[in-house]
């Protein structure tokens, strides 16, 4: 039967209803990521007051019922009636999308959240929210439930005229979110970052569920940020290089410190937003850095090598902190700065200030030059290794790795590559797979820890070379996503400690050398079963101990035949297909980067050269281990 479709079928959802109907469109997900995004949205309003110069203190409190309070000493949200909409500005801001004071440059010269949906979305997705405003000697309050006002904006008392600010207390709606349990580490991570970026700011966070309390205030600002990032690395010089400048309404500060690792870590922020996808400001910084060091080397040496960008960034940790009116964000996650004028501003400031610094600090300059020239030699050796590899491939007709079992599907969008731990499991996977769209690449043993070694050694490692060739994109500066041979790259290892270690080594490689493969959503982790349980004539694959306990309670343990899998190699091809590889029945987890700063810290701690930070991490988190093979 034909369904008629006309004008009456077009529905216009009101702001709050639209948010509650499609929450993931506004906060990313209804899981932990979206839940913690609510806190960031409220805090970001306070940070905009910091950027405007009116706020110096922010306090965040996690209450026992998992409600959150965010208190600041800014100007306070206006409460007087709006001249057009005839309702309190507070109610307008709290209940309407795209309502706020950030759409011209009068109230906020620079601001992080430019879309004006933040606080109203938090309100819409909360069971209840209370807004208190201290303004002009009075305290005002309005309460809401699921985004709708349940009381008028009313004066509830007086306060000293010099004590202004806003206090928002909200409890997420448990009918919207999978869980409303806030994680202390996730809450404090962003707050610490904000304190680094705003050195005049004091942030206090308190968890009344556990009596934890922290205060973040960093007099050194982004210099302290760089030191924090390098705390588990051997640095070339103790104090970071600090550059600062202004061009009209744009201000820029940069902190730079080199370490003995082979990794470059550059984190660029615009109005306190982490521009993870880079942009014009990052391009300007890279260009200026390369030019400055090349100019200095040519001045000091007769036969100076021509240093490339990757040479001068080897072992570099840097923070770029830019305050920019009306930034235009682009990219997959809207975190790439697109304003063309930003490149020239950054390039000019960095070139002038860094040139002057190197001239005035020859001892530091000498260390930087030695590091970059050494990196240049390593790069050239790696380039020779690449060329040798390419020649071998050309003699072999450009063949893919011999151990790769390719699939017949030629469209990358419809194909997937399983990187499998061990030849035994690889053999089962090759037999059990669907040959039309599934390719198998078995690895022998554990790959190199790329966090601890230089590129030429990495490229000489057979297992890593096989992965690079099979995936097809190239690595580092040569990475090209358009050459990707498989839409999904799935890591499949045993469900034990060794398997977890192999996964971590692989993820470290992808994060450091093919980060966009993760960022664009192409890396997955397979979930192999822990048990095969036979109950009567039926077989069940179970992926966690709790599933086994549930089955025991429901079926009776005496009637169960339980097989504990120690590794993928114990599974025959049919079992591996059914439990781990069949798209209709398998469980796979997409890998994504939620916080690049946190990811970098974790990899440096777990996989870096320094032993003591790793020991401390293990001691601090030992009680969180759920399964341990002995």
- State the catalytic residues: 421, 494, 496, 498
The CA-CA-CA angle for residues 26, 30, 34, to 5°, reads: 60
Say if CB 342 and CB 281 are below 8 A apart.
yes
Distances (CA, A) of 537 to 40, 296, 368, 577: 52, 77, 69, 20
Q: What is the dihedral of CA 336, 340, 346, 352, to 10 degrees?
A: 160
Do the beta carbons of residue 543 and residue 500 sit within 8 Å?
no
Beta strands 488-492; 416-421: pairing state: parallel
**Residue with the two structure tokens 């990358």:** 412
Say how many C-beta atoms besides its own lie within 10 A of residue 608's C-beta.
20
Residues 6+ apart with CB under 8 A from 435: 405, 407, 408
**DSSP label at 305?**
-
Tokens of 225: 């940020």
* Cβ atoms within 10 Å of 22's Cβ, excluding its own: 10
| Those residues with Cβ within 8 angstroms of residue 91's Cβ, 6 or more apart along the chain or in another chain | 142, 149, 153
Largest CA distance in the chain: 84
Work out the number of other CB atoms within 10 angstroms of the CB of residue 449: 17
Cα–Cα distance for residue pair 20/29, rounded to 1 Å: 12
Q: What are phi and psi of 313, to 5 degrees?
A: -100, 0
């Amino acid at each position: 039967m034909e369904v008629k479709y006309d004008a009456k079928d077009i529905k216009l959802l009101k702001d709050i209803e639209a948010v509650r109907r499609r929450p993931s469109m506004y906060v990313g997900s209804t899981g932990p990521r979206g839940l913690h995004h609510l806190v960031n949205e409220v805090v970001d309003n306070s940070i905009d007051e910091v950027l405007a110069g009116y706020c110096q203190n922010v306090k965040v409190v996690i209450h026992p019922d998992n409600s959150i309070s965010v208190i600041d000493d800014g100007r306070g949200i206006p409460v007087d009636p709006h001249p057009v909409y005839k309702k309190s500005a507070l109610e307008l801001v709290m209940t309407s999308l795209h309502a706020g004071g950030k759409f011209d440059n009068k109230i906020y010269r620079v601001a992080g959240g430019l879309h004006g949906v933040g606080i109203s979305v938090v309100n819409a997705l909360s069971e209840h929210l209370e807004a208190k405003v201290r303004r002009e000697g009075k305290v005002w309050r309005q309460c809401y439930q699921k985004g709708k006002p349940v009381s008028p904006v009313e004066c509830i008392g007086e306060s000293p005229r010099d004590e202004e600010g806003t206090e928002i207390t909200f409890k997420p709606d448990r009918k919207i979110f999978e869980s409303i349990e806030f994680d202390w580490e996730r809450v404090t991570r962003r707050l610490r970052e904000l304190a680094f970026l705003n050195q005049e700011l004091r942030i206090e966070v308190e968890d009344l569920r556990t009596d934890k309390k922290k205060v973040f205030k960093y007099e050194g600002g982004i210099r302290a940020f760089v030191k924090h990032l390098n705390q588990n690395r051997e640095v070339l010089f103790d104090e970071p290089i600090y550059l600062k400048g202004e061009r009209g309404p744009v201000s820029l500060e940069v902190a730079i410190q080199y370490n003995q690792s082979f990794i470059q870590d550059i984190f660029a922020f615009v109005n306190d937003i982490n521009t993870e996808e880079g942009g014009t400001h990052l391009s300007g910084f890279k260009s200026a850095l390369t030019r400055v060091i090349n100019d200095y080397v040519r001045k000091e040496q007769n036969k100076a090598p021509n240093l490339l960008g990757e040479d001068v960034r080897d072992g570099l940790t840097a923070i770029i902190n830019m305050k920019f009116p009306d930034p235009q964000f682009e990219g997959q996650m809207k975190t790439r700065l697109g304003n063309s004028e930003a490149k020239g501003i950054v390039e000019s400031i960095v070139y002038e200030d860094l040139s002057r610094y190197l001239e005035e600090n020859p001892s530091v300059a000498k260390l930087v030059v030695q590091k970059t020239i050494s990196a240049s030699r390593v790069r050239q050796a790696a380039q020779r290794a690449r060329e040798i590899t390419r020649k071998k491939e050309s003699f072999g007709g450009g063949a893919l790795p011999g151990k790769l079992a390719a699939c017949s599907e030629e469209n990358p969008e419809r194909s997937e590559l399983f990187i499998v731990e061990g030849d035994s499991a690889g053999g089962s996977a090759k037999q059990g797979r669907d040959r039309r769209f599934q390719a198998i690449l078995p690895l022998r043993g554990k790959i190199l820890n790329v966090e601890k070694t230089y590129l030429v050694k990495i490229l000489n490692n057979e297992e890593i070379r096989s992965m690079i060739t099979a995936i097809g994109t190239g690595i580092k500066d040569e990475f090209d996503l358009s050459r990707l041979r498989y839409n999904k790259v799935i890591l499949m290892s045993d469900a034990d400690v060794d398997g977890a270690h192999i996964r971590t080594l692989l993820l470290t490689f992808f994060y450091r050398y093919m980060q966009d493969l993760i960022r664009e959503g192409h890396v997955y982790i397979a979930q192999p079963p822990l048990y095969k349980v036979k109950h009567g004539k039926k077989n069940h694959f179970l992926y966690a101990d709790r599933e086994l306990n549930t089955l025991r309670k429901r079926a009776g343990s005496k009637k169960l035949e339980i097989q504990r899998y120690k590794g993928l190699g114990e599974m025959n091809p049919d079992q591996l297909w059914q439990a781990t590889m069949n798209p209709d029945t398998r469980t796979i987890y997409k890998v994504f980067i939620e916080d690049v700063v946190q990811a970098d810290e974790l990899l440096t701690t777990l996989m870096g050269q320094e032993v003591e930070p790793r020991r401390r991490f293990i001691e601090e988190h030992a009680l969180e281990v759920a399964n341990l093979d002995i």
